[in-house]
Each structure stands twice: as C-alpha cells, then as structure tokens.
Amino acid sequence: MTIYRRARSKYWYIRFSRRGQQIHESTRSTSGRQAQQIEEGRRAMLARGETRTSLVTFPLTEELIRRP
C-alpha cells in the first residue's frame, strides 16, 4: 500500500492492489501524517478480510423493497 498526492490536489490518496485490481482511494485528508494513519487502518481492515461495502448496511433499502 502506498500514500501519494495527485498533481494539483491538496488531498492524499491510497493505492493498493486487491485481487489483481489496482485500487486508488482518497483519504480526504490534507495531512500526510493523518493519511498515513488512515492507510494503516485500511491495511488492517483488508488483513481482516473486510471491505468498505461489508461494513455498510442499507436497512432503508430493504424496507423500501418490502413496501407494496
């Protein structure tokens, strides 16, 4: 995993490979130190097998589907 800044951007990004696919994510942080901490947290999530989508639930969506 790597953190970097894109040209003309004030935000730091994370770049990593998952299942053979290159993934780039914004940390939404302008601080290099904070971006490093975010990257470490993201690395720990991936090591546990978690993804961002596995942490999000959509109870309202299920409720809307059940409505007649």
Domain locations in the chain?
2-66
| 12 Cβ contact partners less than 8 Å away, ≥ 6 residues apart | 3, 4, 5, 26, 27, 29, 30, 31, 32, 34, 35, 38
More confident residue, 60 or 52: 52
Over residues 3-34, the pLDDT tens digits come to 999 999 999 999 888 778 888 888 999 999 99
| pTM score | 0.67
| CA dihedral over 56, 21, 37, 45, signed as positive or negative | positive
For position 24, what pLDDT does the model report? 86
